[in-house]
Amino acid sequence: MSEDPEPLDHASLASELRDARAALLELLRTLPESRAYRATERAGWTLKHELAALGAADAELVHVLEELRRRSGTLTLELRRRRAESMHSLQNLRLTPLIERLEAGGAAAAESVAAYGHHLARAVHVEQAAEGATPASASALAHAYRARVTAAIETLRGALDR
């Protein structure tokens, strides 16, 4: 992971995440169930995969911020298994319960950023693969999360336009 492109104001980020999630939910509520199974630009993925990945990212961000709150020093976190398990459980949901989970997960992520965002400058090592950890800051993870939310909105708009 690269260095942060800019420092984050956690209150502004929380507000931005709430607004983005509201836009996403508004679009999702117009999506017919059958369209959730259409392919996206990512090879082998459907819109439902993309939404499940977003839900997993919600849980991941909350987990990282909770761990930053609980523990001192540089954290080393293995998130791959957590992400996979979360995605798997979300992919098995029908669209309406998935939307409900995305609404709750997005709210929890924004609330965590608002409450614990002052920890975002701290160092975090995220275990990516067998070769070891990639150092970053929690802020870099938050930037990646914000980008994922924005990408999900664009993917959903594309699916609705087809």
Instruction: Return the CATH architecture of domain 10-161.
Output: Up-down Bundle (1.20)
Q: Is 62 helix (H, G, I), strand (E, B) or coil?
A: helix
Question: Which pLDDT does position 42 carry in this prediction?
Answer: 86
Question: Which pLDDT does position 135 carry in this prediction?
Answer: 55
Element (H, E) at 77: strand 75-78
Q: Is the pLDDT of residue 30 over 50?
A: yes
Beta-carbon contacts of 154 under 8 Å, excluding residues fewer than 6 positions away, are none
Q: Is the pLDDT of residue 94 over 90?
A: yes
| Residue-wise pLDDT tens digits, 68-78 | 889 887 777 77
Q: Which two tokens stand for residue 100?
A: 């409900």
Q: Is the pLDDT of residue 127 over 90?
A: no
Q: How many CA atoms, within 13 angstroms, populate the side-chain half-sphere of residue 160?
A: 14
